[in-house]
Each structure stands twice: as structure tokens, then as C-alpha cells.
Amino acid sequence: MEKRTMTLELMEQAVYGGAILGGGGGGWIHDGLQKGKLALEIGEINLITVDQLEDADYVACVSLVGAPAAKSQYINAKQLYSTVELLQKNFHSPVKALMTNENGAATTVNGWIQAALTGLPVIDAPCNGRAHPTASMGSMNLSEMDGYLSYQAAAGGRDSYEISGFVSGTIQYTSNIIRQMSVEAGGLVGVARNPVQIGYIKENAAVGGINQAIALGEVFLNEKDPLHKIEAVATKLQGRVIKVGKTRDYSISTKGGFDVGKLYVDDLELTFWNEYMTAEENGDRKGTFPDLLMTFDTETGLPIVSAEMENGRNIAVMSVPKERLLLSSTMSNKVLLKTVESIINKQIVFN
């Protein structure tokens, strides 16, 4: 597929498709739509493929880091732009394009504002084709490269919470610093980080993930009936609706910049760490991260992220096997997946 110039229609499809691929995280639909509209008002946004750059060209990842339920979060276009500027100032080679860290309602359009302001294209290769909790999961296994030096610039917050800065070091160290910055900023920072070459992206990113979100969003928006929307999405992703029922015993707490909790849909238990991690009913596991688990309001058909859930809501739960998704190489990294277990107290890695 050649370069695509983004339109309002394509942006809306990307946001709704991204919301579904967010798997309970990845930001809020209204934020994604707002961000996408602003980007289109600022300037032209071109989506290019990995084949339109040279293997030696560098691409920087842009993302938002924080907890979706944090109440004091704030970031503006100037701050997003400043992260790219700060990263480029501290990096040895020119950045030729921007890539998002993951698919999600707000994250699929990550980088669009920065692209509109800088003139850089967005590359159709998110670091991960679904949303995930930790920055390491969005680092395309750079954490496995001996001696890899991570470069990260971040900015966000309002008034006395406003913060910006640049840090370099190991992936884990720099990611922890950025996560702490998000907490100090009131719950959210924009980040530009880890420039990598196209050759590496081809091997480790979710190549084609943005167009997958757009295609999924088109299917979702074309259906008018709420239940038909949910069924059409499940069919498109070759997944299935595993439960339709009423929510109860919903609990959520924000810890270290993450939303952690669980809920029940009748007898189906869902756990989440920003994104839904497990679905289990009477001891039978129905889905395990990085399988895609997603909740939908049966009255509107809209995808619902974990942070906006509440008790007594009628929802449908969809499960899609990981094999049906476009995923990063990190989603088969057992060391990274193992970190989930101590957070939700459930087994994630089985062999």
C-alpha cells in the first residue's frame, strides 16, 4: 500500500478501530478524536509504509505514558512537539518518521500532532498492534539488546505540575524515570523515544497495524445496530463474544502510574493492568494477555476501556487469540510477560 493522506473519515476509523485493539487500555475515544481532529487542523498527515524509507533510516517512537484514570492529567500540542525537538537535539542522526507505540483509541493517532507540526510522516508500523501496560512491551525487544542506549524525551502537566526533560540509559532505567515523570505531571506525559532503524522495525514492529485499525474501525462504524457492531468486529478479527451480561464487583486503583483492578460479568472474571489481562469463568481460562480481551456496551455497541467501567452495566466481552493480531516481537518475550503475574496474581506464562 502506498502513502495515504489522512482524512477526517480515516481518522475516525483509526480511533474506533484502535479503541477495540486497545484491549481495555490505549486511552479514551473522545481523547483520540479530539487529538486526531486537532492534528488534521494543524497540517497534513501522511501515513507511509516501511518500504518507503531506507533500512538505515531512523524512526522515533512517540507515545503517552500514564494511568488512564488519573484525574489531573494534561498535555498540549506544544508539549508533544517539544518532545520530538528535544529527542532530535540529543540524538546523533536525523529522524525520518514517527511511529506510535501501540494501537488504542488515543494511541493509534499518537504522533499525528507531532507529524503535522514537524512535517514528518507517520509510519504504518506501531511498536505493538494492540495496547500493553509497560514501556518495555512497546520497545520492540530493544531491552534484549546488550548495551542498547535508550534516548527518551518527555513533557506534560499543567501549571505547577508541568514537567519536561531528556534522559538516556538502559531501557528499564529510562522507562522508570519517564513513568515517574508521568506521576509527577499529574498522571500523563507525552514521550518521544528510542529511534531505531527501519531494518529493525521490519523485524520487530507490528507492520501494517495502523491500517488494520482503520479497516476494523470501518467495519465497526458501518454497522448501526449495537450488537451487530460487536458481532462484526469479532468476525473481522476472527475472535468471539465469550460473555454478555451485567458487571459487578468492579475495583480499580492507580498504582505507580498504572490502573490495576478486576470486575465480573456475571460469573466471568476479568483482571486488568491498564489493559485486560485475563478472562476466567469457573476456573476455565477464556483469554490470556496478549490475547485481545475487550468490553463493549451492549446498548450502544461502543468499546469501553477498563478505567471507565462501572457496576451494573450491560456489556459484551470479546476474546481474540493472539495469533489473529499483528503483534510486536515483545509479545512472545516471556520475561516481559512474566512481569504481569505479580501485579494481577494470575498465571500468564504457561510454558
Asked whether residue 153 is domain-assigned, the answer is yes
Radius of gyration of the chain, Cα coordinates, nearest whole angstrom: 19
CATH number at residue 52: 3.40.1610.10
pLDDT score for 65? 84
Cell of 82: 517539544
Q: What are the pLDDT digits (tens) for 157-190?
A: 999 999 999 999 998 899 899 989 999 999 899 9
Asked whether residue 347 is domain-assigned, the answer is no
Is the same domain home to 205 and 296? no
Q: What's the structural domain count of the chain? A: 2
Read off the amino acid at residue 321.
P
Asked whether residue 349 is domain-assigned, the answer is no
Is the same domain home to 13 and 146? yes
Is the same domain home to 106 and 74? yes
Is the same domain home to 194 and 299? no
Is the same domain home to 148 and 252? no
Domain of residue 292: give its range.
Answer: 228-336
Task: Please report which confidence band the pLDDT of residue 68 belongs to, taking 50, 70 and 90 as the band edges.
Answer: low
- Domain boundary among the residues 157, 180, 209 is at 209
3-class DSSP assignment, residue 330: helix
| Contact call for residues 215 and 193 (beta carbons, < 8 A) | no
Cell of 264: 465480573
Lowest average pLDDT, out of 30-44, 230-244, 250-264, goes to: 250-264
Is the same domain home to 176 and 233? no
Whole-angstrom distance, CA of residue 125 vs CA of residue 196: 12
Q: What are the pLDDT digits (tens) for 202-226?
A: 999 999 999 999 999 999 999 999 9
Is the same domain home to 196 and 272? no
Alpha helices in 266-321 (DSSP H): none
Asked whether residue 78 is domain-assigned, the answer is yes
pLDDT score for 83? 98
pLDDT score for 71? 77
- Domain boundary among the residues 209, 241, 276 is at 209
Asked whether residue 144 is domain-assigned, the answer is yes
Is the same domain home to 247 and 201? no
Task: Please report which confidence band the pLDDT of residue 250 belongs to, taking 50, 70 and 90 as the band edges.
Answer: very high
- Domain boundary among the residues 177, 209, 241 is at 209
pLDDT score for 308? 93
Is the same domain home to 188 and 80? yes
Q: Beta strand 258-265 with 284-288: parallel, antiparallel or unpaired?
A: unpaired
Which of 152, 90, 109 lies closest to 17, judged by CA? 109
Is the same domain home to 199 and 258? no
Alpha helices in 46-192 (DSSP H): 77-90, 112-118, 171-184
Asked whether residue 65 is domain-assigned, the answer is yes
pLDDT score for 261? 96
Asked whether residue 351 is domain-assigned, the answer is no
Is the same domain home to 154 and 65? yes
DSSP state of 127: S
% the chain with pLDDT above 70: 99
Segment 266-274 long-range contacts (CB within 8 Å, at least 24 positions apart)? 268/242, 268/243, 268/317, 270/295, 270/317, 271/344, 271/346, 272/24, 272/25, 272/306, 272/344, 273/133, 273/340, 273/343, 273/344, 274/24, 274/25, 274/67, 274/68, 274/131, 274/133, 274/306, 274/307
Query: What angle (nearest 5°) sits at the alpha carbon of residue 277, between those of residues 325 and 335?
Result: 80
Q: 0.85 exceeded by the pTM?
A: yes
Asked whether residue 71 is domain-assigned, the answer is yes
Is the same domain home to 169 and 304? no
> Sheet harboring 95-100: ordered strands across?
4-5, 46-48, 122-123, 95-100, 58-66, 188-197, 150-156, 163-169
